[in-house]
């Protein structure tokens, strides 16, 4: 709603309208005057019309494709339903079954592990690489392209590629043996104790480019005057990074963490194609659990309950994060716009 603020305060006053018409060159004065008259005649209607025109379609789509499905999922989650035919109401039974199911609980844990690892490992690596790529290096564009390339490749293709490379005796094993790391070769997708971390490796390969591009954009936004001034004052490179670059990169980092955690909770395609959540549910996530126990089992009521739990987790996280972590950033943005 932030972008509506200036429009609303404008309130259809003459002054505001004049400001709109102000910059018009003399030739167009007549048109502007006509426009003004039109506006004066139906100020409320014009404002309402504008709002309906601009907000109506997205709002309708949002209601139709976001709110209604959420409502339907919440409704269906209260039933025992094979997807067609009569459904039987069973209250919160589906939620109880889901929460009591150790496989579902371990799926949530896997999502949390991926989220924590993302922040703990991907973030520092992304920042490091972004700082590196922000310098004037030879072949900078080519390096940026290479790092960003995995993000552009679709999830399904990435998953199939890695699935093939991670087979026992596959490309990864061969490459490791070739450089003398044969002793570290594992059953990457076949060992229940390893598979989740293998998946994290693939996720990192896939999404780190996105983080880097985001951070690079953030770095571009840091005025060079600040770093120059710091250097003139005798700051070392490390001090500039620590006291100027990183604090000013804060909003970008906070947004990245938000996207990364939500992405971790919704993790599906890579896992589904590479392991289907196995072996023995060792790499299952909330969404693979949902598909397996909802769609594939014709348990649409139960699947909906799982979807609602997933939604609540994401929603609560998003609210808390917006409230406590992003507040400064959004407040700044609003103030800047209103001012």
Among 80, 106, 227, 241, binds another protein (CB under 8 A): 80
Q: Is 302 in the site for another protein (CB under 8 A)?
A: yes
**x/- site string to another protein, residues 201 to 240, per CB under 8 A?**
----------------------------------------
* Buried/exposed code over 282-315 (b: 16+ C-beta within 10 A; e: otherwise): bbbbbbbbbbbbbeeeebbbbbbbbbbbbeebee
CA-nearest of 303, 301, 294 to 87 is 301
Count of residues that interact with another protein, criterion CB under 8 A: 66
Sign of CA dihedral 133, 135, 139, 142: positive
Least distance to another protein, CB of residue 190, Å:
3
Q: Is 268 in the site for another protein (CB under 8 A)?
A: yes
Q: Is 307 in the site for another protein (CB under 8 A)?
A: yes
Q: Is 49 in the site for another protein (CB under 8 A)?
A: no
Residue 228: HSE in the Cβ half-sphere, 13 Å Cα cutoff: 4
Q: Which is nearer to another protein, 24 or 151 (CB)?
A: 151
Q: Is 160 in the site for another protein (CB under 8 A)?
A: yes
Q: Is 99 in the site for another protein (CB under 8 A)?
A: no
CB count, 10 Å around CB of 281? 19
Q: Which is nearer to another protein, 48 or 298 (CB)?
A: 298
Beta bridge partners of 124: none
Q: Is 163 in the site for another protein (CB under 8 A)?
A: yes
Q: Is 200 in the site for another protein (CB under 8 A)?
A: no
Q: Which is nearer to another protein, 20 or 185 (CB)?
A: 185
| Cβ contact 246:215 at 8 Å | no
| Cβ contact 176:248 at 8 Å | no
Q: How far apart are CA 328 and CA 256, in angstroms?
A: 15
Q: Is 321 in the site for another protein (CB under 8 A)?
A: no
Among 262, 325, 326, 334, binds another protein (CB under 8 A): 262
Q: How far apart are CA 287 and CA 266, in angstroms?
A: 6
CB count, 10 Å around CB of 203? 21
Q: Is 106 in the site for another protein (CB under 8 A)?
A: no
CA-nearest of 246, 231, 208 to 131 is 246
Q: Is 84 in the site for another protein (CB under 8 A)?
A: yes
* Site for another protein, rule CB under 8 A: 65-66, 69-70, 72-73, 80, 82-86, 97, 154-156, 159-160, 163-164, 166-168, 170, 187-192, 195, 262, 265-266, 268-269, 272-273, 275-276, 278-282, 287, 290-293, 295-300, 302-304, 307-308, 310-311, 314-315, 318
């Amino acid at each position: 709603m932030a972008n509506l603020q200036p429009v609303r305060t404008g309130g259809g006053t003459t002054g505001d309208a004049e400001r709109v018409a102000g910059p018009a060159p003399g030739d167009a004065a007549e048109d502007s005057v006509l426009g003004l008259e039109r506006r004066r005649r139906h100020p409320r209607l014009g404002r309402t019309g504008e709002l309906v025109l601009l907000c109506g379609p997205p709002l309708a789509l949002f209601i139709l494709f976001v709110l209604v499905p959420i409502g339907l999922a919440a409704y269906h989650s209260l039933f025992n339903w094979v997807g067609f035919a009569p459904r039987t109401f069973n209250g919160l039974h589906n939620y109880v079954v889901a929460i009591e199911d150790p496989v579902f609980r371990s799926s949530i844990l896997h999502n949390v592990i991926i989220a924590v690892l993302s922040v703990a490992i991907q973030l520092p690596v992304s920042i490091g690489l972004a700082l590196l790529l922000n310098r004037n290096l030879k072949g900078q564009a080519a390096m940026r392209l290479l790092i960003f390339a995995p993000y552009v490749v679709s999830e399904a293709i990435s998953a199939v590629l890695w699935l093939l490379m991670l087979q026992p005796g596959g490309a990864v094993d061969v490459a490791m043996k070739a450089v003398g790391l044969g002793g570290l070769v594992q059953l990457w997708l076949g060992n229940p104790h390893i598979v989740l971390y293998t998946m994290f490796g693939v996720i990192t390969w896939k999404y780190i480019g996105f983080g880097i591009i985001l951070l690079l954009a953030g770095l571009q936004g840091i005025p060079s005057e600040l770093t120059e001034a710091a250097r003139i004052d005798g700051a070392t490179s490390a001090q500039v990074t620590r006291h100027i670059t990183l604090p000013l990169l804060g909003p970008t980092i906070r947004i990245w963490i938000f996207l990364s955690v939500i992405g971790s909770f919704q993790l599906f395609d890579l896992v589904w194609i590479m392991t289907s959540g196995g072996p023995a549910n060792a790499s299952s996530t909330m969404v693979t659990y949902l598909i397996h126990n909802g769609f594939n089992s014709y348990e649409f009521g139960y699947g909906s309950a799982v979807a609602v739990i997933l939604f609540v987790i994401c929603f609560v996280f998003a609210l808390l994060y917006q409230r406590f972590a992003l507040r400064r950033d959004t407040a700044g943005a609003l103030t800047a716009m209103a001012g």
